[in-house]
Structure 1
Amino acid sequence: MRGERRRPSQVRLDDAETVLVESGLVDADYVGAQLGTTFASPEEAARAAVLAGDVSPHPLFEAQWIGRRRSWQRLGQHPVLWYVSERRRRNRIAPHPLVDPRIIFASHPEARHHPYGALSYWLSVSSAGTALPTRILPRKVSWGTYRTAAIEAAAAWRREVVHERPSLVGPAPALPTSLSTSPAVTVVMATQDDGPLVRETVASLQAQSFTDWHLVAVDRGSLDDTAAVLQGSAAFDERITVVRESRCSHAHALNVALEHGTAEHVAFLPLGRQWLPDMLASLVAHAHRSGSSAVLAGAGAVGRDRAELLAGRPVDLATALLRRAAIKDVGGFDETLGGSVERDLLLRISRHHDPLPVDVPVLRRPDPGTPDLGDDWDSVVLERQLVDWDAAGREWSEDLVTAVMPVGPEPRRTVEWLGSVPREGVELILVGVRLRRAHHVLAASIAAIISGARFVSVPTPVSMSAATNVGISRAAGSTVLLVRPEAMPPRQPIAARLAEVVREPGVALAQPLIVDLEGVVLSAGARFAAVNRHPELFLAGLPTSDAVRIGQSGVAAPAAPLVALRTEDAVALRGLDARFVSVLAETDLGLRAQQAGLGGSVVVPDAVITSRTPYALPDELIGAMSSLARSPGAPGPDRAPELLRRAGLEVTDERNRRVVADPEDPASASALVPELVVRPIQGIHESPPRLRWAIDIAAPAAQRGDRWGDTYFARSLADALEGRGQHVAIDRRDARGRDSRDHDDVLLVLRGLDRVAPRPGLLNVEWIISHPDMITPEEVAAFDHVYAASTSWAERMSREWGTTIEPLLQCTDTRWFHPDRAEPDTGPALLFVGNSRGVYRYAVRSALAIGADLTLHGNDWTEFVEREQIASGGVDNREVGVLYASAGIVLNDHHLDMRRDSFASNRLFDAAACGARILSDRIEGLEIFGGLVLPFDNEHELARLVQPPYDAFPDDAARRVIAERVMAEHSFDKRAETLVDDAVRRILARS
């Protein structure tokens, strides 16, 4: 029978308890802090952790960190039992952000064979003073220090969140003398593995002054004692009905509960929430006075109409009363949604029923004599409750920048910021709003052990803007960065740069350049049309090079998930307006700052932030623009046409683009957003001719592609082209589909791993610098002009394929590679700089085979060589020249196809420009290096050539002369000259 079916975790409950204790992955104090109790033994704590559901057994084990879609969830298995039984797969999984198995294995190779994995082994050999095995912390932190912080964070979570008691204030109307149904209210509750919270939650309902209610509690297949506790309560209170279901979604459980209700009104009481005695009476009284389908007792900026709900205003059904008929009309909760079912229900009710009034403020009663504030009453009271602006600090440190970030839904994003932001002169304040246990404890405990990081918990459900204001009021720095969770930590520090800008005269707010995950501009601020108060994201869709070309410039207002302003200005403006849940809150702040005479807004393009998400979803943007239209601030003159001309673009027209919340619903909310129509300014006839270039490379976006050789090559080439008056954008693999390529003149594909389709209407140029085996005659024929970094291959393929391929060898950046970078023979005797690329490369293998004293710099070598043989994981490209100029011998090798077809590597040109002695595998054409490059065909030759005094190579003076010739003939400047001349000639011929 279904009701008697035993789940795997039930069968193995004793096994799980035993495994937890044997593995060392149970900490009785930590479990007790989460459950608000103490345990006499680890076994007792292990059993409680297994039965309690969402409880972590150990400070360094967090199931939520491992991931969501794991087999233990499908099997109903405890995550620790799943983890310790995973064996080989487990060794690659980090069970906590502060546990890196790779670090454990590096120090304790025997940990790979431990029956319970790396963490269990590490705990068995570590003491309280042992440093945590992690790379994300800026300094070493002991295990004992973190354990203390984690226990305190868990206890604080229970105090602040589990026992949070929302209270009603404000005058409530009198209850009617008679109600239409009895019971008058059906209270619905969905539970799953919440046994420790059941009694107190139900007790708060039983303590209500309004007693005509019926509780329908649906148990979603709990594995602990939840069902038994509910049945025990129902045995002594006939108003309680318990419904048993198998594991199901939260929405399905709520719908089941609604089917068992008969009352006119429905209230929602989740586990862990406790109502004050007058809560239900106040809700019923307000519902009858207003006659509304829904009464919301919201904290702060709750949704009052459909547009504001679409904008993301918070919804908390735990303080709401809905008419059952209205819920039935719209079909109840949508069980196909993964989340946000509460907001979805209210949106559907608001579509078919009267607007949603907010008659019941949740915050404190206003002081006597407070004037009538109308619809903004709850927002103003929210500010008084959470932020006392008048008492906010007035002594801020000029040497400190405070970053304030409300904690978003993803723990990994929070941990990324904790591991990257705190530095000298920067503090991070994380503001958590009713976080889940795992996220709350991770954020609070890690913040507690990082100098310059603080965690602030707000148990009341408030908007992101209100949470940000809480952080502003706690800031110690004279400059504050307002950060939204979708902003990724910057790859380069930007706090000091933005703080410097907001100190400039006439500047109130500064925002960095915002790019998307593909590296394309998402926002460079907001611009406004003369007749449209809705903002457009300036430079959206253009390459970052256009923003850099424009430079730091004033904009109407910021539009970014990160902005900077003086803390005293933030306090004077009373922070972000609580009407804005997230998007456009910073735009409103900039407009208000301008109106208050505090200064304007600027965009700083040399500071760059990546956003994980689009700036706003359509429904969010529509609701936020509705609020912005009522903002008291007014934008200044539109400078966009003037600024775009600096980037070589001219405005030809302006149009409106319709943004629709639901394209399939003709009646859904919509708004018109202004949009500039631009075209490139023709520069072909200027002197010198100026073209817009898009350099396409195979490297991925963001930090993943930063260490690719293609990226360094493209940057140097772009600088050389810019030096000749060209406008250049570098498009990595993810950005090659950007629409703004239509504004370019030349598409230059640096052919690496990816085949790139030519862009119609542009001059399409391909430069084959590697992997010739991947090239086909059809690919070459599709381009207007083709180069190859091999003279012999270009000549042979031109004959065979009937398409002209011109030789254009690789080159060097003479800014970083020249003989004056270091004194000869003062560095490593034998040097190789390069990544393994998953191959035990010929040069490195040969050098180690002969026992040479090799200095190796690069990534991904641990599979082939011992860790102590690796000098570093990589060297900044601008510093590699120092190593080359100082080395005794520089080693080089090529991919097999590049060696066969004589594609000389970029490393040869860089090292030769430094005057280095170079040993390489044999290819044709090495004579262009004038004796600086000698080939070796086997290990015997290599052993002979690497021995001082290096008689086979020219002396120091001769090597300098050769290096200067290589610099003159094979620099990026020389290649840029060829590319521009050929492109101009072909474009003029076409036109």
Structure 2
Amino acid sequence: MRGERRRPTQVRLDDAETVLVDSGLIDTDYVGAQLGTHFDSVHEAARAAFLAGDVSPHPLFEAQWIGRRRSWQRLGQHPVLWYVSERRRRNRIAPHPLVDPRIIFAAHPEARHHPYGALSYWLSVSGPGTALPTRILPRKVSWGTYRAAAIEAATTWRREVVLERPELVGPTPALPARLSTSPAVTVVMATQDAGALVRETVGSLQAQSFADWHLVAVDRGSLDDTAAVLQGMAAFDDRITVVRESRCSHARALNVALEHGTAEHVAFLPLGRQWLPDMLGSLVAHAHHSGASAVLAGAGAVGRDRAELLGGRPVDLATALLRRAAIKDIGGFDEGLGGSVERDLMLRLSRDHDPLPVDVPVLKRPDPGPHDLGDDWDSVVLERQLVDWDAPRDTSEDLVTHVMPLGPEPRRTVEWLGSVPREGSELILVGVRLRRAHHVLAASIAAIISGARFVSVPASVTMSAATNIGISEAAGSTVLLVRPEAMPPRQPIAARLAEVVRGAGVAVAQPLVVDLDGVVLSAGARFNGVNPHPGLFLAGLPTSDAVRIGQSTVAAPAAPLVALRTEDAVALRGLDARFRSVLAEADLGLRARQAGLGDSVVVPDTVITSRTPYADVDELIGAMSSLSRTPMPSTEDLAPDLLRRAGLEVTDERNRRISVDPEDPAASSALVPELVVRPVQGIHESPPRLRWAIDIAAPAAQRGDRWGDTYFARSLSDALESRGQHVAIDRRDARERDSRDHDDVLLVLRGLDRVAPRPGLLNVEWIISHPDMISPEEVAGFDHVYAASTSWAERMTREWGTLIEPLLQCTDTRWFHPDRAEPDTGPDLLFVGNSRGVYRYAVRSALAIGADLTLHGNDWTEFVEREQIASSGVDNREVGVLYASAGIVLNDHHLDMRRDSFASNRLFDAAACGARILSDRIDGLEETFSGLVLPFDNEHELARLVQAPYDSFPDNAARREIATRIIAEHSFDKRAETLVDDAVRRLLARR
């Protein structure tokens, strides 16, 4: 499908200048800091910001922060003009990480109607002392404080990154302070069936020191994964646009790409070619200095002027920079030619525009051999100049230092800055030749956060060298080495890892690493004594297996985050420059053991999520080649013994071949050891022990943490584990994990998703909500089906002919019991729950009668005033305190749950606390709850029932007695007992 084509919107300079000034989004000093000049008026600064390239007009407006689709680039607009004109979308857009429109609207509702948006309004009513409208900072920071930090960061960026370019070769002029368009260069790429070349080729473009480019990649109907790889890279780099075409000529693809460009200059990057980091910037500088329409560099015998072209020398557009207007004047590429379209274009262009030959190094050297440092040699030399390992150091035992070299995505950097713990931790961000937006955001935000520091490295060094520079700056006695793909942990882990590495015999500690689905990615590296290559321990298994094994020694770490003592990191001279990223920490752990500093351990009660797989295949193969020169551990492989703790036994070991190109036997490859495991048969043990996979509809990571399904599954898992079962909770993202084949029972807690039974397992479904979504075909596919409604289970059994047993919801008696609080000492009327996107019946009715409702939960601001919300949520373990102390607890159900009498989990939790409960009407309330739950059918009944002294409910003693019965009959322990008994009976019958 063709990409969207839209004509650039032309805006008169005077009109744009007026809008920029009127919006208040021009900061004269900030624009001047980025351009290295001074402006006498805001109009002059506005004009410069409009005409310049990648320049932000205001410290609180960053175009690179606003999404990935960059609509203004497609429209040819300045980003501020696009932002202020987007009236419908603008109120949902954060123009900067420290500007949250929701906070502005909460304080100033009238800001929604401001002609230039929330930020413009906020600036008009705020002063230097006003706190920034953001939630990501650990404390309030004034606008004036941040503005000063942003101006300083912009000034430093210009001084360190723009003006100091010591590694350029040849007499290259300086880039002008102002470029006429942004992006300044459209990079054109025509692709077809060359997927294996995409990453390295585009990677060389992403590594350019000149970052103001826009790549238009036209895929000519590839039959392999070329387009998919390009789209995957475009998802993480908003400077890349992918256009899908059917099979067409090379000339047609180039012309289509040119149609999508808006920049003044055009460069051409064929797949399989790689540029040196400063090539594009050097050509742009020459083009602007000379005014030439064609700037040609060259490697080897290529034509670099008209005479050489006419003399027969070949054309290499990969080393050229052309003006788009000149290409347009000659009509672009001739689509009627069968070949030589690039040579034809240059010959026609050179009739009126003499090409300018320049001495610019453009192409990368071939990749180094496995035993050659190659390009990394420069990084080694630079590191020795930048890091003095022998300098005296003072470190604090009370401080843990995080060291993180920055990747290409500023959003990830801001996430880490927003996660710095207030006490006991510091974060050192190391930026290497960053783009302006990333550099300024990292430096300015770090400057206003206590415990955060930004270190700029103007020279090009590897990630390992950048990490070592950060180690040399560490003030803590423990360092956590973090790669950019590691997401900030959902729970603090620094103190726990520091405690482990301070223990005797431990040199390096790593957390459990999981992927975005929540499945184990790595619990360290293991070696089998024969194959020098490492395998990733526990990869593909659920996290519950790692937790069951517990803290354990591994051969070496393998994680995007590791912890070690700072003095040990210094003694080992940090990470080895042979490793650009992956396996650097494994090498570090092996060297630590060889030096007698201690072992490597994995700490499974600390978890880190990686945004990417552990490594790309080609990157991993190269790193394993380097690792083979590090002495391997001579100790016995502990993996088989550790796996037995998780109920798994090793039956075999094999070597899996990984290859850069699986279809090419001659492609670079390596053999990786893998263990073959099977579950230990525990059904005949006493008590029987099974492996359970509990499948829930909640999404992975933090998004699903507040779902009721998640709390329910955790409590059920604990109850099953207390009966000797091995339990994994699979959220919807992880339900396709291969290791599910090792389980005995798949228990689906049926929520919003229909889950397919797993062949070979005992498939059990427990329908606890949304009965309208259930079909007879679905229940017929399971071996055993339960429903949390007695009447519905009986009726559907009759109608569908499949046995459905009633199994009501239940409560976790650890957190819900009458002793959690004194009755009637808390809120008079209480509701704890999220809105789920609807104005729920119970809350709406309570507020309609003017009741004094205490409301806890998420997503209510759309329906009720902010001051009516007591909190955005309560820890599930503390909800019982509120229930036991409340005068009345409110409850309601989804429409289908109410109609089919599916009693909610909230009813059992509140009843176990002896609370008085008012709910919408369902069948069986009296039979189950013995008067603790009373129904109300309208607001009049509700108004009568909420009045103290609550004569319609049993007294305190009776309520306590009823709660005791609820605990005995409707606990998770009781449900676990039923589930285990039924599962064992069915499995024995099957066998």
Band of TM-score, shorter chain: 0.7 to 0.9
Distance 2:507 2:657 in 1: 31
Aligned to 2:558: 559
Aligned to 1:454: 453
Matched, 1:539 2:538: yes
Aligned to 1:499: 498
Distance 2:182 2:696 in 1: 56
SS in 2 for 1:493: coil
Identity of aligned residues (%): 82
- Equivalent position amino acid for 2:931 in 1: G
Given that 2:48 and 2:178 are in contact with CA atoms closer than 8 Å, whether structure 1 keeps it comes out as no
Shift of 1:863: 1.2
Matched, 1:670 2:669: yes
- Equivalent position amino acid for 2:908 in 1: F
Given that 2:788 and 2:806 are in contact with CA atoms closer than 8 Å, whether structure 1 keeps it comes out as yes
Aligned to 1:717: 716
Shift of 1:76: 1.2
- What does 1:451-530 correspond to in 2, within 5 Å? 451-530=450-529
Of residues 260, 267, 271, the one that matches 2:281 is 271
Given that 1:251 and 1:333 are in contact with CA atoms closer than 8 Å, whether structure 2 keeps it comes out as no
Distance 1:889 1:769 in 2: 25
Matched, 1:701 2:686: no
Distance 2:759 2:183 in 1: 66
Distance 2:53 2:673 in 1: 51
SS in 1 for 2:526: strand
Q: CA-to-partner distance for each residue in 1:557-584, whole Å, 9 max, x for gaps? A: 0000000000000000000001100000
Aligned to 1:21: 21
Shift of 1:71: 2.2
Q: CA-to-partner distance for each residue in 1:515-547, whole Å, 9 max, x for gaps? A: 000000000000011111111010000000000
Residues 97 and 385 (structure 1 numbering): CA distance in 2 closer, same or farther, change over 3 Å? Answer: same
Matched, 1:78 2:55: no
Aligned to 2:189: none
Given that 1:162 and 1:273 are in contact with CA atoms closer than 8 Å, whether structure 2 keeps it comes out as no
Shift of 1:978: 0.2
Aligned to 1:826: 825
Shift of 1:792: 0.5
Matched, 1:194 2:179: yes
Given that 2:54 and 2:183 are in contact with CA atoms closer than 8 Å, whether structure 1 keeps it comes out as no
Q: CA-to-partner distance for each residue in 1:647-699, whole Å, 9 max, x for gaps? A: 00000001000111123444321111011100000000000000000000000
SS in 2 for 1:385: helix
Given that 2:74 and 2:260 are in contact with CA atoms closer than 8 Å, whether structure 1 keeps it comes out as no
TM, length-normalised to structure 1? 0.82
Aligned to 2:931: 931
Matched, 1:955 2:965: no
Aligned to 1:621: 620
Q: CA-to-partner distance for each residue in 1:411-432, whole Å, 9 max, x for gaps? A: 0000000001242000000000
Aligned to 1:226: none
Aligned to 1:417: 416
Shift of 1:13: 1.9
Shift of 1:163: 1.2
Shift of 1:143: 0.2
Given that 1:402 and 1:426 are in contact with CA atoms closer than 8 Å, whether structure 2 keeps it comes out as yes
- What does 1:216-615 correspond to in 2, within 5 Å? 248=261, 253-255=266-268, 269-271=279-281, 322-323=299-300, 333=318, 350=366, 378=378, 380-391=380-391, 393-615=392-614
- Equivalent position amino acid for 1:194 in 2: L
- Equivalent position amino acid for 2:898 in 1: R
Residues 195 and 117 (structure 1 numbering): CA distance in 2 closer, same or farther, change over 3 Å? Answer: closer
Aligned to 2:902: 903
Residues 688 and 270 (structure 1 numbering): CA distance in 2 closer, same or farther, change over 3 Å? Answer: same
Distance 1:766 1:251 in 2: 62
Distance 1:555 1:27 in 2: 54
- Equivalent position amino acid for 1:49 in 2: A
Shift of 1:187: 8.8
Residues 385 and 929 (structure 1 numbering): CA distance in 2 closer, same or farther, change over 3 Å? Answer: same
Given that 1:188 and 1:254 are in contact with CA atoms closer than 8 Å, whether structure 2 keeps it comes out as no
Residues 408 and 499 (structure 1 numbering): CA distance in 2 closer, same or farther, change over 3 Å? Answer: same
Aligned to 2:733: 734
Distance 2:706 2:276 in 1: 58
- Equivalent position amino acid for 2:868 in 1: Q
SS in 2 for 1:431: strand
Given that 2:379 and 2:460 are in contact with CA atoms closer than 8 Å, whether structure 1 keeps it comes out as no
Aligned to 2:990: 990
Distance 1:359 1:582 in 2: 14
Aligned to 2:239: none
Shift of 1:330: 12
Matched, 1:690 2:686: no
Aligned to 1:630: 629
User: Size of the alignment, in residue pairs?
Assistant: 857
Shift of 1:7: 8.1
Shift of 1:394: 2.6
Aligned to 1:158: 158
Residues 787 and 253 (structure 1 numbering): CA distance in 2 closer, same or farther, change over 3 Å? Answer: same
Residues 881 and 955 (structure 1 numbering): CA distance in 2 closer, same or farther, change over 3 Å? Answer: same
Q: CA-to-partner distance for each residue in 1:4-28, whole Å, 9 max, x for gaps? A: xx98565422211111100100001
Q: CA-to-partner distance for each residue in 1:244-296, whole Å, 9 max, x for gaps? A: x98749999444999xxxxxx99964437999xxxxxxxxxxxxxxxxxxxxx
Given that 1:187 and 1:269 are in contact with CA atoms closer than 8 Å, whether structure 2 keeps it comes out as no
Shift of 1:68: 3.2
Residues 329 and 512 (structure 1 numbering): CA distance in 2 closer, same or farther, change over 3 Å? Answer: farther
Given that 2:689 and 2:725 are in contact with CA atoms closer than 8 Å, whether structure 1 keeps it comes out as yes
Matched, 1:940 2:917: no
Residues 734 and 357 (structure 1 numbering): CA distance in 2 closer, same or farther, change over 3 Å? Answer: closer
Distance 1:188 1:357 in 2: 37
Given that 1:913 and 1:963 are in contact with CA atoms closer than 8 Å, whether structure 2 keeps it comes out as yes
Aligned to 1:262: none
Q: CA-to-partner distance for each residue in 1:592-631, whole Å, 9 max, x for gaps? A: 0000000000000000000000000101100111111112
Distance 1:894 1:360 in 2: 66
Residues 858 and 131 (structure 1 numbering): CA distance in 2 closer, same or farther, change over 3 Å? Answer: same
Distance 1:379 1:434 in 2: 13
Aligned to 2:873: 874
Residues 166 and 666 (structure 1 numbering): CA distance in 2 closer, same or farther, change over 3 Å? Answer: farther
Residues 266 and 969 (structure 1 numbering): CA distance in 2 closer, same or farther, change over 3 Å? Answer: closer
- Equivalent position amino acid for 2:987 in 1: I
SS in 1 for 2:455: strand
Residues 195 and 252 (structure 1 numbering): CA distance in 2 closer, same or farther, change over 3 Å? Answer: closer
SS in 1 for 2:399: strand
Unaligned runs of 5+ in 1: 1-5, 170-184, 200-216, 223-244, 259-264, 276-317, 336-344, 362-375
Shift of 1:489: 0.3
Given that 2:35 and 2:178 are in contact with CA atoms closer than 8 Å, whether structure 1 keeps it comes out as no
SS in 1 for 2:532: strand
SS in 1 for 2:397: strand
Unaligned runs of 5+ in 2: 1-5, 185-209, 216-257, 286-294, 305-312, 321-361
